[in-house]
Amino acid sequence: MKLLNVQLGDRSYPIYIGQNLLSDSQLMSQHVTGTQVMVVTNTVVAPLYLEQVLQSLESAGKNVDVVTLPDGESYKNLETLNIIFDQLLSKKHGRDTSIIALGGGVIGDMAGFAASCYQRGVEFIQIPTTVLSQVDSSVGGKTAVNHPLGKNMIGAFYQPQAVVIDIDCLATLPQREFAAGMAEVIKYGIIWDNEFYQWLIKHRTEIQSLSSEHLIQMIERCCAIKADVVAQDEKEHGVRALLNLGHTFGHAIESEQGYGKWLHGEAVAAGTVIAAKTALTMNRITPSEFDSIKDIFSRYSLPIVKPADMSTEQFMEHMAIDKKVLAGKLRFILPQGIGHADVVSGIDNSTLSDAIENH
């Protein structure tokens, strides 16, 4: 088992990465302070992994309730969030309860947001079950729900007590979901670590074949980068914004298409290619680097073009209310070569339009 730490003073917490962790009752319970636990999961994950988690917690003497939500990004909203609150209140959970998020990024975001709000904040633990949530969304304390006008616009920064990453969960992940998670993995290479980017190219076959050794190494590197960034900039006033590479364009795709039609990682992949084309136009990357970025996404079975039915005007409309708008100016994360990135504002509309239309 690998162990990393997110260094945030008195809010620091461990990330455990390994196999057969869900059956480790000591590990599953040691970060649960009280006796009450509410496990939040969904209809897809519950039949696969809920029983293991319940056995581990109950054998450690915890009183466990469960709320099972419908699956999918389209349910990541205030209405579904209220189902969690209904269960917490009806089961009489107190301020010493712990909420456990068992699922992918949607479950982690909603359970974490519920934990930040319930009785003004209760403890929670992340047990991510998808590539995307294991390498990205479970670490760093971003919690939120979507609004019809914008993705993740209602939320809070709220750190977990621990993150438990069991790679065995990836064995049941549909191929499309696995590919979508790889968009966030590739992102780390582009913005932070060219050596890791080259490693992803070299070991694609092993990664896509679910080699345990390579998956653990990959997830550990992603979490190490994320932990480092979050420790430097917990609430995204500076360097943490780099983690949003491709997300401004990607969130526009998700909002316009309807949440769930494009998976988050799919939208981020296409959005990253648009960002890379913008960087190419501004001479921040070379044509060969641009081709490499398109190629790596394509080889990991991810889309590299925007939805055919989405116009530049629709992109602009959604991006105008993106969270990364500051003082009325859109800010974009653009690569500077492969392995580095910057926050760039003041890009003229013609450059953006060209990148959207001709990537």
The full set of domains in the chain, from first to last, is: 2-172 (3.40.50.1970), 175-357 (1.20.1090.10)
Choose among 67, 70, 35, 32: nearest CA to 50.
67
Choose among 273, 301, 338: nearest CA to 181.
301
What pLDDT does 326 receive? 61
Three-state secondary structure of the chain: CEEEEECCHHHCEEEEEECCCCCCHHHHHCCCCCCEEEEEEECCCHHHHHHHHHHHHHHCCCEEEEEEECCCHHHCCHHHHHHHHHHHHHCCCCCCCEEEEEECHHHHHHHHHHHHHHHHCCEEEEEECCHHHHHHHCCCCEEEEEECCEEEEEEEECCCCEEEEEHHHHHHCCHHHHHHHHHHHHHHHHHHCHHHHHHHHHCHHHHHCCCHHHHHHHHHHHHHHHHHHHHHCCCCCCHHHHHHCCHHHHHHHHHHHCECCECHHHHHHHHHHHHHHHHHHCCCCCHHHHHHHHHHHHHCCCCCCCCCCCCHHHHHHHHCCCCCCECCECEEEEECCCCCEEEEECCCHHHHHHHHHCC
What pLDDT does 227 receive? 96
Choose among 135, 132, 124: nearest CA to 162.
124
What pLDDT does 237 receive? 87
Q: Is there a contact between 181 and 300 (Cβ–Cβ < 8 Å)?
A: no
Residue by residue, pLDDT tens for the chain (359 residues) are 999 999 999 999 999 999 999 999 999 999 999 999 999 999 999 999 999 999 999 999 999 999 999 999 999 999 999 999 999 999 999 999 999 999 999 999 999 999 999 999 999 999 999 999 999 999 999 999 999 888 899 999 999 999 999 999 999 999 999 999 999 999 999 999 999 999 999 999 999 999 999 999 999 999 999 999 999 999 988 999 999 999 999 999 999 998 889 999 999 999 999 999 999 999 999 999 999 999 999 999 999 999 999 999 999 999 987 656 665 678 899 999 999 999 999 899 999 999 999 99
**Which residues are known to be catalytic?**
120, 142, 184, 226, 236, 240, 244, 247, 251, 264
What pLDDT does 323 receive? 59
What pLDDT does 18 receive? 97
Burial state string for 283-310 with b = 16 or more CB within 10 A and e = fewer than 16:
ebbeeebbebbbebbeebebbbebbeeb
What pLDDT does 328 receive? 65
Q: For residue 151, give the amino acid letter.
A: K
What pLDDT does 335 receive? 98
